[in-house]
Amino acid sequence: MAEAASTGNQPQFRTIVVATDGSEYSTAAENVALELAGRCGARLRIVRIIPTDTQHDALSPRRSHDASVSAQGDLDALEKRAREAGLEVSAILRHGVDRHQEIVSVAEEHEADLIVIGRRTRGEMARLMVGDATAKVIGLAPCNVMVVPRDTEAPRQGLLVGTDGSELGDKAARAAVELAQHCSLPLTVASVAVPGQSEARRQEGVDAIQRLQGEAREAGVETDALFEEGRPEVTLIEIAERQHRDLIVLGSHGRTGLKRLLMGSVSERVVGQARCPVLVVKKKG
């Protein structure tokens, strides 16, 4: 990334939790978390969860022990790397039945502002999959969550934030502005109208992107605004690729909202299909 601009603002991302499982699918999330922690001057908490199966562990205590030793070795190596980068860091190894709940618990205990987690395969969250650990982390997290696909990096080209004119859309846009400031990157503010949407709702989208574009420019962020029509999840991904934006920022719910366990359908599909990291901004994030 380019050198960060000096904003003088209290950073939104003061504590970052990165969840790793030691696999190739976590590597990109680890790299992104380290880079963002450095950019934002944030504390880094590295968490690894060893799945617990009481019956299996009792039958194979040696295997459980070996898994813990191996995981601790991976954590130590990553912690050392973070310290060498000048970060304030600690590593946390836990055993638990539900990996997603343990990650959320660590975030709560450390008052995290952001969880960074890997995404195993493109498309795995394209449908509403309540049992998916990543979906549950996003739904239950007390803070914002960044989902990082395999073989991707922290943003280097620019950010895209999608808004529907809702309060959470504004919150997502302001999180995007702050991150764009830290990374000295341009920002695109976009709103997508669904075909057949009323003229009043379309105008709300236009008004929102113009207002948020003005706020971003006042903050010193190079910003453009786009209003398009189509399926929001498809169109936002297309805009990101066309505009060379390598981080997408969205609210966890649009205007309709869902139960706390779930994401809004647009956010979920973007997370599942995007080729770049996606930052999901929570209402209380």
pLDDT at 168: 87
Q: What angle do CA 87, 89, 95 make, to 5 degrees?
A: 155
pLDDT at 264: 60
Fold match, 15-149 / 159-281? yes
Tens of pLDDT along the chain (285 residues) come to 444 443 434 447 899 999 999 888 899 999 999 999 999 999 999 999 998 865 555 556 677 778 889 999 999 999 999 999 999 999 999 999 889 999 999 999 999 999 999 987 644 444 443 336 788 888 889 999 999 999 999 999 999 999 988 888 899 999 999 999 989 999 999 999 999 889 998 999 999 999 999 999 999 999 999 999 999 989 999 999 999 999 999 998 654 444 444 456 788 888 888 999 999 998 764
The structure's pTM equals 0.88
Q: Which amino acid makes up residue 34?
A: L
pLDDT at 128: 40
Structure tokens at 200: 């009043």
CATH 3.40.640.10 fits 159-281, yes or no: no
Report domain extents, the chain: 15-149, 159-281
Q: Which CATH class is domain 15-149?
A: alpha beta
Give one DSSP letter per residue of the chain, joined into a string: -PPPP---SPPS-SEEEEEE-SSHHHHHHHHHHHHHHHHHT-EEEEEEEEE--HHHHHH-HHHHHHHHHHHHHHHHHHHHHHHHTT--EEEEEEEES-HHHHHHHHHHHTT-SEEEEEE-STTTTSS--TT-HHHHHHHH-SSEEEEEETT--S-SS-EEEE--SSHHHHHHHHHHHHHHHHHT--EEEEEEEPTT--HHHHHHHHHHHHHHHHHHHHTT--EEEEEEES-HHHHHHHHHHHTT--EEEEES--SS---TTS--HHHHHHHHH-SS-EEEEPTT-
* Cα(134)–Cα(139) distance, integer angstroms: 9
Give, to the nearest 10 degrees, the angle between helix 61-84 and helix 24-40.
30
pLDDT at 126: 44
